[in-house]
Amino acid sequence: MKIILLSLVVVLSIQDIFADHHYESLKKLKDHLLDGYRKDFAPSPVDVQFSFDLRAARYNKKTHVVETTVWESYKWHDDRLVWKPEDYDNRSIIIMEHDPIWTPDFKLYNEVDEREDRDETNVRIHSDGTVEWYPTALYQTYGKKGAGKSGTVHFVIGSWSFHTSILKISKMGEGVSLRYFLNETSPLLAEIDHVDVDAKRYSDFDKDFATLDATVVFKKRPDYDDDDDHHHHPHTHDKAPEAAHAADDC
């Protein structure tokens, strides 16, 4: 019995040593990355790859507002967040909170309510300075009535502060995806009409601002009952598959 207990103590002690070493390595790397880092400075110039996945949509008959739950995907390079994996136990990826570093200040330009609802999740940083970010968001836009029980929604998304000489946008994949759209439970069915990257100039600024412009056609599900409770609107805090397994890389 004493031998078993002694063996258990030894095993637990070894596990504690490895755990302490793991967290010390993470802390050392995080301290290295954030030492002198200024989040208010963009890694200029920066090309932000961007896309969003439609999750579900709901139309409000009284306000004519379409609420769309989306998963946003961002990828960019920040040369201030580079390290040699061999100096940190061959760690090539670190998952950390987004707040200490610069992240794109993208907004839905034609948002009905300026208080955009976004669940700002952790970022995934690679040793070569590549940063990935997958926040969820709730877009609220006015819909334009189409034929029958269909309507068109236009999304214009881009940086709120940085013009094209500092920040450019490129589409990640197709730019907009329906791969996670809840066709069986969403009150509306969706079809992507077009997705483009554009640059817009506003009267108050003598600069161009890059945007991703997308048009989606929504149609009411023929079998949807507004009073049927089992047709739900997913909350923006649902996690995207990319983010759900992020901790596995720590």
DSSP assignment of 12-53 equals: HHHHHHHHHHHHHHHHHHHHHHHTT--TTS--SSEEEEEEEE
Domain annotation for the chain: domains and CATH numbers = 36-249 (2.70.170.10)
Q: Is the pLDDT of residue 16 over 70?
A: no
Return the exposure string of 1-31: e unless at least 16 CB atoms fall within 10 Å of the residue's CB, then b.
eeeeeeeeeeeeeeeeeeeeeeeebbeebbe
Choose between 31 and 250: higher pLDDT: 31
* Token representation of residue 111: 């948002």
CA-nearest of 101, 97, 52, 47 to 77 is: 47
pTM: 0.80
**Can you give the pLDDT at residue 4?**
54
* Residue-wise pLDDT tens digits, 118-132: 777 999 999 999 999
**Can you give the pLDDT at residue 10?**
43
* Residue-wise pLDDT tens digits, 34-46: 999 999 999 989 9
* Residue-wise pLDDT tens digits, 208-220: 999 999 999 998 8
Choose between 246 and 116: higher pLDDT: 116
Return the exposure string of 99-133: e unless at least 16 CB atoms fall within 10 Å of the residue's CB, then b.
eebbbbebbbbebbeeeebbbebbbbbbbebbbbb
* Residue-wise pLDDT tens digits, 58-107: 888 888 899 999 999 999 999 999 999 999 999 999 999 999 999 999 99
